[in-house]
Amino acid sequence: MSKRYLYIETYGCQMNEYDSDRIRTALDMEATDDPQKADVVIINTCAIREKADQKALSSLGKFKHLKSRKPNVLVGVAGCVAQLYGDKLLDKVPHLDFVLGPRAIPRVSQLISQVENSRRRSIETSFDIEEVFEVEPYHEEGKVTGFVSIQQGCNKMCTYCIVPYVRGKEINRPIHHILREAKNLVRKGVKEITLIGQTVNSWKMDGYKFGDLLKMMADIEGLIRIRFTTSYPRDVTKKMIESIKGTREICHHIHLPVQSGSNSVLTTMKRTYTREWYIDTLNRLRDSIPDMAISTDIIIGFPAETEEDFDDTMKLLDEVQFDSAFSFKYSPRPGTPAAQLADQVPSHVATGRLAELQEFQREITSKKNLRRVGQIEEVLIEGESKNDRNWLSGRTTHNRIVNIPGTNDLRGKIIRASITEGFQNSLRGVLIENI
């Protein structure tokens, strides 16, 4: 049988990158970067904000001409937008052949055969799929870092968030699956694994908690670094902190979305913690692990956010001094409770506040990066820098990108670098020694 080619375009987070790699394994086709060469085209979408969702939909439009020139090419939409709009997408996009929800990835091959055999467009968005963790992602040879999903869906029901509606309730992955996939990656040369889940630290299974899993991961021979994302503030336990503190392989960085510094906004968001509780959690982390790097997510312009609420968020940024922050303008999502709230903040007000907050955080991040100048950092070299082949790029335990001059034989090694310059998003240094 002749080779068949798959073209996938991915939008959104790491979870979607991971899912695209799973689709690649499930279909067992040759990947191509050229849609003109493809037998199957899949757009893997994100629905977290309206912009992401529209971007993905408009990208589908690009394949109209391809489909009319090559009618045998199958065009599909996968991911959260597929789940959100379901068969409405088939009505709206005449050149679309199939719709695949994020939980249904293990069924993608069946779905495509069904479309090809019946010559009818088809949809698979069931949540009730037992083999949900069965398909492991395709792994590109030579990569130093990899992801392992430990959880699907989310149980938290934050009022702004579409995730529980499009990815379903939380399902935790069995421990032997997680360790098997992690060991496979290490066998292929991976040195650093990031455990991923919507609220990764709420993982528990068969009497084991997230802190236990971290320690078991650290026992994998050849795995030198472990990261995890995204953590939920209420699920940062004493055991988890002790595991990070007591296990050399676990990186000293946590991504802990706070979303807002105002208690009234946090209550309407149903985040289940207060500003004081969040700060106390960071204090517990920093008391145990003084160099712990902390990054966060913030939503600006949530319904009824006043100037005072916004000011509370700015004060929180000042007090906490996050190493970095992702901040977003609130985007009402269909079917979520917050989208029904009457008091939506005018767009121009939210845009102004967001710009102010981002400028303030940029200053904090730059100041923190500049403070690393003159220090010695341990860096795991991931490969050549994207912009210049004479430079190597890697990360510190605190998740800071470091670029050093050097050659690719250092890829996959931990080196000591002396930091010479600090920028907004990265550091620059020189090699001291290979360890």
Contacts with ligand SAM, residue ranges (CB under 6 A): 13, 48-49, 154, 158, 160-161, 163, 198-199, 230, 232, 257, 259, 297, 299, 328, 330-331, 333
Residue type, 91: D
21-48 in b/e form (b: 16+ CB < 10 A) is: bbbbebbebeebeebeebbbbbbbbbbb
Q: How far is the CB of 158 from ligand SAM (least distance, A)?
A: 6
For residues 200 and 251, which CB has a smaller minimum distance to ligand SAM in the complex? 200
Which residue number, 144 or 161, has a Cβ lying nearer to ligand SAM? Answer: 161
φ, ψ of residue 98 in degrees (nearest 5):
-150, 160
- Between the alpha carbon of residue 315 and those of residues 292, 302, 308, 322, 356, the distances in Å are 21, 17, 10, 12, 12
The nearest distance, CB 93 to ligand SAM, in angstroms, is 24
Rank residues 99 and 154 by Cβ distance to ligand SAM and give the closer one. Answer: 154
| Distance from C-alpha of 302 to C-alpha of 144, rounded to nearest angstrom | 39
Q: Which is nearer to ligand SAM, 50 or 134 (CB)?
A: 50
CA–CA separation, 426 and 382 (whole Å): 14
Beta carbon of residue 170, minimum distance to ligand SAM (angstroms, whole number): 10
Comparison of 17 and 116: residue with beta carbon closer to ligand SAM: 17
Query: DSSP for 141-173?
Result: TT-SEEEEE-EES-----TT--HHHHH-S-EEP
CB 336 to ligand SAM: min, Å:
7
423 membership: H or E segment, kind and range: none
- In angstroms, the CA 75 to CA 25 distance is 18
Residue 287 dihedral angles phi and psi, to the nearest 5°: -65, -40
Alpha carbons 200 and 153: distance in angstroms, whole number: 10
**Residue 227 or 411 with smaller CB distance to ligand SAM:** 227
Q: Shortest gap between Cβ of 381 and ligand SAM (angstroms)? A: 28
Please state the closest distance from residue 238 (CB atom) to ligand SAM, in A.
21
Task: Using CB positions, name the residue nearest to ligand SAM.
Answer: 297
Give whichever of 249 and 305 is closer to ligand SAM, judged by the CB atom.
Answer: 305
Least separation in angstroms between CB 230 and ligand SAM: 4
